[in-house]
Amino acid sequence: MNPLANDWPIKQRSSACARTQRAFEPGEQFYTLLFREGDGFRREDLSEEAWAARNENIRPFSFWKTRYEPPPPVPPEPLAKQTAEELLRRLLGQDDSAHRNACYVLAAMLERKRVLKQIKTDQSDDGSILVYEHTKTGEVFLVPNANLRLDEVETVQREVAELIGGSRSPSAISERSAINS
């Protein structure tokens, strides 16, 4: 069972500082903080000024610095087969660990295509968690680290290809992006 699947509803980054409510400018550096609250997580995006003025005694579960890019216009709904991103969203939203390896490989595929960017790796009671941020929307994805061996990657890639839609095969994933160091 993946306890994080339901703990963290995937949310977009904010377009304004959580403390000052000042809108972020395109290209501005800001901090994202994740706080564990009850059974889930709360996200705060802070300007550099709010970051400097924060109470350092309050420690987030995870945090990182990134650059604000305004979200792209909402594209029309495609009617194509399920994409790797859609499949990752669906699998992370399910409360089961049967697809843990598939989520890991999908995240690596999306990282290679520069859709997701791994921000950091954090430890939880259930092992390591890879923290990804969607490069366009700023959404956060918490993906359990499957710790796949190189000889397991091809089998999981075939599983992912079947889940996506059968005949098309996922891109080959290099040893560097498929195996977490």
> How many structural domains is the chain composed of?
2
Q: What is the pLDDT along the chain (181 residues), one digit of tens a residue?
A: 444 545 456 577 899 999 999 999 999 999 999 888 877 788 999 999 999 999 888 889 899 999 999 888 877 654 444 588 888 888 888 866 778 888 888 898 899 999 999 999 988 877 889 999 999 999 999 998 888 888 888 888 888 888 877 534 444 333 333 333 3
| Measured distance CA(70)–CA(24) in Å, rounded | 9
- Same-domain check for residues 105 and 59: no
The domain of 20 spans 6-67
- Same-domain check for residues 120 and 169: yes
Q: Which among 118, 91, 86 has a CA at the least distance from the CA of 103?
A: 91
Q: Does residue 74 lie within any of the structural domains?
A: no
Q: Does residue 14 lie within any of the structural domains?
A: yes
Q: Is the pTM of this model over 0.75?
A: no
Q: Does residue 73 lie within any of the structural domains?
A: no
